[in-house]
Amino acid sequence: MFGRLNHVGVATPSIARAGEHYAALFGTEAVGTPFDLPEQGVKVCFVDAGNTQVELIEPLDDASPVAGFLQRNPAGGQHHLCFEVADLDAAIADLASRGVRALGPPRIGAHGTRIVFLHPRDMGGVLIELMEAPDGGH
């Protein structure tokens, strides 16, 4: 049901510093321009990493869920894994039938497609984001 790994989300107190770090680490110039997602309380930026991307996530303010993550992990760290699915509604229904809880209703994510997060307690302790593939998963 899950498609390819789209990105690894990394929470950071500073996208600017983290972007420099990952650009040097991956030897890439492909660090995107940061942009705000106010409905999610974050600023994001994508770094190309070969066959996937790293999504850098910085809280916009103290009310952001990512701010809470950074309180527990001040230096930042892996926040979530994002997998593509062909049909988000079908994936949510299938997972719900197996006892997996979505953390809220679907919404539009950083790539402009519908997303949902799955409860880490139902996913082996890992926060999983499902993203409806822009091309329908093909």
Q: Which domain holds residue 57?
A: 5-132
Domain containing residue 98: CATH number: 3.10.180.10
| 27 within some domain | yes
| 119 within some domain | yes
Could you read off the pLDDT of 15-54 as tens digits, one per residue?
999 999 998 888 877 789 999 999 899 999 999 888 899 9
| 137 within some domain | no
Report the domain count for the chain. 1
Q: How confident is the model at residue 11 (pLDDT cuts 50, 70, 90)?
A: very high
What rounded mean pLDDT belongs to the chain? 93
pLDDT for res 136: 60
Q: How far apart are CA 47 and CA 86, in angstroms?
A: 24
Contact 90, 43 (CB under 8 A): no
Q: How far apart are CA 38 and CA 33, in angstroms?
A: 16
Q: What is the pTM of this model?
A: 0.92
| 75 within some domain | yes
Could you read off the pLDDT of 60-117 as tens digits, one per residue?
999 999 999 999 999 999 999 999 999 999 999 999 999 999 999 999 999 999 999 9
| 117 within some domain | yes
pLDDT for res 134: 79
